[in-house]
Amino acid sequence: STNVQLTYHLLLDHYSSPRNVGSMDKTLNDVGTGLVGAPACGDVMKLQIKVDPETDTISDVKFKTFGCGSAIASSSYLTELVRGMTLEDAGKIRNTEIARELCLPPVKLHCSMLAEDAIKSAISNYYTKNPKAASTDLGGT
Ligand code: FES
Ligand code: FES
96-114 pLDDT, tens digit each: 999 999 999 999 999 999 9
Q: Nearest bound ligand to CA 73?
A: 2
According to the model, what pLDDT value does residue 132 have? 81
Q: Does domain 2-130 have CATH number 3.40.50.920?
A: no
Catalytic residue among 6, 41, 88, 92: 41
- Strand 57-66 relative to strand 44-52, pairing: antiparallel
Q: Is-above-0.95 flag for pTM?
A: no
Q: State which ligand 1 atom lies nearest to the alpha carbon of 68.
A: 4
At 60, is the secondary structure helix, strand, or coil?
Answer: strand
ipTM: 0.67
Nearest to 21 by CA among 59, 47, 53, 44: 47
Domain residue ranges in the chain: 2-130
